[in-house]
Chains A and B, each alone.
Chain A
């Protein structure tokens, strides 16, 4: 694939990171394409990501991710089922993390040295940690929908949020 883009700027992330991020983002865009506005948002976000990764413009990356996240929220508001919603959010998060990590590598290490190891370790760890988050979300969703208790959901959320801020360092 490297031949397809012969001259990438030095600030562009390594190819492996770029393709993984783009693949994850594409997955998210496909999943959230439940309506025309959500599809449009996702496609726009995807375009922005592709541009940012190809031309090495880090400042264009976050807006692209924000657009994708927006399309996830929109899909959620429009009634996409939570399992898909969780998966799409998971992919967006992964795309963000991998892409940002790639930009960091380009900035600090450059193109010449092999960065396969840190890319692989980082990608796998991110995938695992976010998967834990998604699983947790799915477990609660499944538990709550089984019991049909909004109170339980609320209590869990309040607990989680307050714990989060209590433990803030």
Chain B
């Protein structure tokens, strides 16, 4: 305790005791009669001093209203954990919607608003590609139509390409735009996308943003318990105490200055609360948490009941105990709530039960967040309590017909290579060299000419296949009808990331190749590196399926980092044989995915692309979804133009359909 503080303590004690004494026996001070300045001066001084103290206390409170946790503000991820929701995946086209949203009124002041020009240039490219495909018109014709606006009936949409970047408005038009709350340029962009979608055959695209997009813009992202409290434990005192103290002191000071003794006792509230806050000890953390799941290995789509019980193992009552379970990111709570609040006497137990829906993958629970407070809620302690539970949900390995498994031999594969060697299909004839097998000597020729010559055939090699799953952050877009989760969403999806469909497809592909006896490997295009070289056999296959289910690269949370597609492709190329066939599973949600596919092609790998379509949905398609479809179709066309077969797959349909006629569809719709 510092010297000034000790001095303050002494003064306070003496003055307080004196006051009590004076109150108890007023006779002592009866002799002291203050008059004039001697009477008013101490009152004024104390009043002003109290007011100053109150102000200082209040200012301090405003200065650092964030709870002090010793690690600065980065220690908290902001909002309180809300693990009952899945991490939010942006619906396709959100990036574009953000750009449209960023068109502001203030752009008008720029001579050449760059973001408007870029938006229009991009959309013009898309429009040119879509229109030339829809009408079969030449590029120059399309350009003319875009310029004169004859490509659509919608005057607002045609004005997007034909009009100015900064439309000049009549006063009434300006008022109308203000009422709508949106710059006319952004409105035109939305209408243009809707009109283009209609021209490309998508009649269900509306110019308005979809409900999912609005949710994506408004909703706070879900926060995991481990992210909320990286330091695992934190203690804080609410600033309510400071507020009450300052307000009470201020009122007391006012009472002294205005000579209203009635206001003085109000200062006592501040003293009581402040005294309580000092006297009360930090709430106990003596709790144990136990988590029980009804089924730790459920099938996909099963409902799993999770029961979390908390027991007070300390010897003090927990007046205010709140806890939030660390639901893993992939599991959505379908019934009940993973949060709970109660008061708990020593030795007692409280529990909460909620239901999650199982989806594929290994889901390790985050630690539960336990928040304890004293009775008045002045001091709070947040603790992460571990209770390790993992729900592992694997789709069943598809039993294959006996015919297919019987073909799993060590014999050569079906792919014909250009290399001369043994085989059945004629390749070339050359001079005999010592060591050539006698069976390949052309004996007829020997009989005719007397010279030895050797016949070479096309050598059959086992083709190796590498399944590459696009699991970059950009691929984590939502598919299906997210909406509010109610109502029958027969199309599936429910806002799952489309990457999960890609992973399921990879799983099916791997099983298929395995049963065909083709060596198959797995790689992820992701900041979280994942690699299985092509191989064969049951163990290898099991390992790959294990990886698909449990590797973080295929998890439910989008990875944080960026990945350079070209470099990643080069890295994969270095690890496999040059003739390895690559099957690239990607939603094609950005241009980098096209770059990746073409890089595989450039490295000499036979590439095919399987693309789950995140824009395939059953209702409420907004303009952003229309834009995503248009650009994605353009990417598919670019791939096919480069000779890369690309299959478009609506993820709500079974994959088998695509795989059966995938080749024919990919080549015919080029």
A residues apposed to B, CB below 8 Å: 69, 72-73, 76-77, 79-82, 85-86, 89-90, 93, 96-97, 100-101, 104-105, 107-110, 112-115, 117-118, 121-122, 125-126, 129-130, 132-134, 136-138, 140-141, 143-144, 146-167, 169
Contacts and interface: CB of A to CB of B under 8 A. Distances in A.
B26 interface: yes
B26 A148 contact: yes
B337 A161 contact: no
Interface string B320-359: 1110100000000000110111110000000010000000
A156 B43 contact: no
A108 B371 contact: yes
Interface string B133-166: 0000000000000000000000000000000000
Nearest to B259: A150
A69 to B, nearest CB: 6
Interface in B220-252: 240, 244-245, 247, 249, 251-252
Given A76-B266, A159-B15, A104 B377 contact: yes
A164 B268 CA distance: 11
A157 B322 contact: no
Interface stretch (B3-11, B100-108, B202-210, B476-484): B3-11
B262 A160 contact: no
A86 B265 contact: yes
Contact of B278 (A107, A133, A169): A169
A76 B29 contact: no
Interface stretch (B16-24, B299-307, B449-457, B591-599): B16-24
22 contacts: A72-B266, A73-B251, A76-B266, A77-B260, A89-B269, A97-B377, A105-B341, A108-B339, A108-B341, A110-B339, A112-B339, A114-B341, A118-B320, A118-B343, A129-B272, A159-B11, A159-B18, A162-B8, A162-B15, A166-B5, A166-B6, A166-B8
Closest 8 CB pairs of A and B: A159-B16, A137-B265, A133-B272, A156-B19, A162-B12, A155-B19, A152-B22, A147-B26
B16 A156 contact: yes
Given A81-B262, A125-B375, A153 B342 contact: no
B261 A153 contact: yes
Contacts of A69: 247, 251
A77 B319 contact: no
B406 interface: no
B398 to A, nearest CB: 39
B245 A164 contact: yes
B23 A85 contact: no
Contact of B19 (A117, A136, A159, A164): A159
A126 B273 CA distance: 10
B342 A155 contact: no
A167 B241 CA distance: 14
Interface of A is mostly: helix
B276 A100 contact: no
A86 B266 contact: yes
Given A73-B254, A151-B22, 18 more contacts: A105-B341, A108-B371, A113-B340, A137-B268, A140-B268, A141-B261, A141-B265, A150-B261, A151-B32, A151-B34, A155-B18, A156-B23, A158-B16, A158-B19, A161-B267, A163-B9, A165-B53, A166-B5
Given A76-B260, A79-B260, A101 B23 contact: no
B81 to A, nearest CB: 9
Interface in B89-127: none
Q: Interface centre among A110, A118, A130, A140, by most B CB within 10 Å?
A: A118
A93 B254 contact: no
Interface string B370-396: 010001110000000000000000000
Given A104-B377, A137-B268, A152-B19, A159 B12 contact: yes
A109 B550 CA distance: 31
B263 interface: yes
A122 B15 contact: no
Contact of B258 (A77, A89, A136): A77
Nearest to B276: A129
A69 B270 CA distance: 13
B217 interface: no
A108 B324 contact: yes
A125 B377 CA distance: 10
Interface in B265-291: 265-276, 278
B255 interface: yes
A90 B23 CA distance: 24
Given A132-B272, A162-B15, A112 B337 contact: yes
A138 to B, nearest CB: 7
Given A76-B251, A159-B14, A162-B15, A118 B261 contact: no
B238 to A, nearest CB: 8
B272 A155 contact: no
B339 to A, nearest CB: 5
